[in-house]
Amino acid sequence: MGEDHQAKFDPKTYFHYCYQFASVPGQKDNSRFVNFVLCQLSKTFSTGRYRGQRLIEVGTGPTIHTLISASQYYDEIVVSDYVDSNRREIERWLNAEEGCFDWSAHIQYICDLEGARTPQIITDTLRQKVKQVLKCDICLENPFHPVTVPPG
């Protein structure tokens, strides 16, 4: 199963079907679902119950939307995924590479919702706080083998 997922999962198709906000009429628009998720994440982190030195996210996929609100409450973030192309997509965004998925509408939604930070501050903060993008295999005793990640 893992090998099939590794070989066949396409982050760009996933973005199109799950995370795209319509910018022109007739284009697929997932904003209602994604905004709901972003709102719930914002509410969760804004309680202050979840904060600390390190956030370790297992199975991040090719996305950063779950980290937008969290970046305000953790000193560093470790993201992980089994699929090489998913980790590469995250690295492309972190490095602001041309052609990476545009998360600006998602970040703007959080800015509008939380009212405290600008999109540029969120983007810069998130890029600075993600310290590692790791391969993760949850079937292993140490899912990040050969790397050892201290507890969050």
Structural domains in the chain, sorted by start: 2-135 (3.40.50.150)
CA 70 – CA 58 distance, rounded (Å)? 14
Whole-model pTM?
0.88
Mean pLDDT of the region 137-141: 94
| Calpha distance 66→79 (Å, rounded) | 10
The tokens of 49 are what?
A: 């119950």
Residue 96 has a CB neighbour count (10 Å cut-off) of 9
Average pLDDT over every residue of 83-110: 95
**Residue pLDDT, tens place only, 45-58:** 999 999 999 999 99
Secondary structure element (H or E) that encloses residue 8, with its range = helix 2-8
pLDDT of 1 strictly over 60: no
